[in-house]
Amino acid sequence: MAFNFEVLKQDAATGARLGKIVTAHGEVSTPVFMPVGTQATVKAMLPETLKELGAGMILSNTYHLYLRPGHQLIRDLGGLHRFMHWEGPILTDSGGFQVFSLGALRKISPEGVLFQSHIDGSRHFLSPELAVSIQEALGSDIMMCLDECTPYPATHRQAEDSLELTLQWADRSRAARRRSVQALFGIVQGGMYLDLRKKSVEALTAMAFDGYALGGVSVGEPKDSMMAVVAETAPLLPYDRPRYLMGVGTPEDIVRCVGHGIDMFDCVMPTRSARNGLLFTNQEKVVIKHARYREDPLPIDSQCDCYTCRNYSRAYLRHLYMAGEILAMILNTIHNVRHYLALMERIRDAIRADRYPAFQEHFFNTQRMTGKDTLA
């Protein structure tokens, strides 16, 4: 089945969009949050559990799967879906951000990126063509072009040079594509400079990708700067193509950015926070190691319908966490992932009912009343 995207409804007062993505492995309602399964697994989660929690699409990482166990092995074993026993849609990133994160262990040239493996120090070369070839071997439903993630801070000249490289790589990625059943998204770069973001959008839309991502955010910039980039750039993207904000973010970020017309999100925050004992709720965040929960008989969130909240107390979860039990990570992750996916359900319901501004107002009023907890 060919990839397709349709906007079903747009909120009358904001840019929030209700949509549907169709892939060879099923349909996905948008706005959608994709749990991150970096190495062909969402940490501490069975695929069946993810499905029960309401996950429609997950994300896996090209860089990590290329290094271990290898894309050719995964291809020979039937592709990524069969390899990890996930029947739904999968998006694979290009590996650009991971290579960017290697710092001194990588060298960027117009041809591609020469880098050393973080696993064993072996040397590898990743080109735009190879990034597409790896993703085609994996068999993901949505592939990403290789891009250079513009660092923060960067001068206008540095951001412009980085953008030019990303645009060249995008054109090469498009030319390298061999399997039309797998969608290919272009990535908008340009740092915090709105003129460069506009230039990037114009160049990428001329290449006619299946969807478009905003990259180069959540790299250390102030939150106001990120929001300005999203607010100004998202409306410039084609109406009839999905808009993906890469690596974002907190529930607050998602609620704001949906209002600017973003359709797709991913972030390690719910799973990583769960493993570190930070649990999201519809009131204040719960840091489960705190002594205040030692005798607490309540669930993490009385409004949550997840398996963890239906069956376990904060006191028990604190006990597991303090004892270093593996079950703590499993139960915490079940809750956090469900919290994010339930938030997306509420967002879609609000758009469908033409009440997204009221939803936003209630959401942020609740945040202000309860305050914010941290891992401290």
Asked if 332 and 274 touch (Cβ cutoff 8 Å), the reply is yes
The pTM score is: 0.96
Task: Report CA 366 to chain centroid distance, whole Å.
Answer: 25
CA angle 93/95/98 to nearest 5° reads 120
Helix-then-strand count for the chain, H and E: 15, 16
- For residue 297 the two structure tokens come to 């008989």
E strand or H helix at 96, and its extent?
helix 96-101
Residue 370: what pLDDT?
65
Task: Report CA 167 to chain centroid distance, whole Å.
Answer: 22
Per-residue pLDDT of the chain in tens (376 residues, 90 and over written 9): 689 999 999 998 999 999 999 999 999 999 999 999 999 999 999 999 999 999 999 999 999 999 999 999 999 999 999 999 999 999 999 988 888 788 878 999 999 999 999 999 999 999 999 999 999 999 999 999 999 999 899 999 999 999 999 999 999 999 999 999 999 999 999 999 999 999 999 999 999 999 999 999 999 999 999 999 999 999 999 999 999 999 999 999 999 999 999 999 999 999 999 999 999 999 899 999 999 999 999 999 999 999 999 999 999 999 999 999 999 999 999 999 999 999 999 999 999 999 999 999 999 998 876 655 443 3
* Residue type (1 letter), 336: N
Distance CA 367, CA 357 (A): 15
Residue 121: what pLDDT?
94
Coil/strand/helix, residue 92: strand
* Residue type (1 letter), 5: F
Residue 374: what pLDDT?
40
How is the chain split among helix, strand and coil, in percent rounded to 5?
A: 45, 20, 40
Asked if 87 and 136 touch (Cβ cutoff 8 Å), the reply is no
Nearest CA to 174 out of 140, 148, 141, 205 is that of 205
Identify the structural domains of the chain with CATH numbers, from first to last: 4-267 (3.20.20.105), 276-362 (no CATH)
Strand order in the sheet with 58-61: 32-34, 264-266, 243-245, 211-214, 183-188, 142-144, 90-93, 58-61
The beta strands (E) that lie in the chain are given as 4-10, 17-23, 26-30, 32-34, 58-61, 90-93, 106-109, 112-116, 123-126, 142-144, 183-188, 211-214, 243-245, 264-266, 278-279, 286-287
User: Catalytic residues, which ones?
Assistant: 93, 266
Distance CA 197, CA 365 (A): 32
Distance CA 212, CA 234 (A): 9
Distance CA 235, CA 241 (A): 11
Give the C-alpha distances (Å, rounded to integers) separating 184 from 67, 176, 251, 284, 355: 22, 11, 27, 39, 33
Q: How many residues does the chain have?
A: 376
Asked if 308 and 318 touch (Cβ cutoff 8 Å), the reply is no
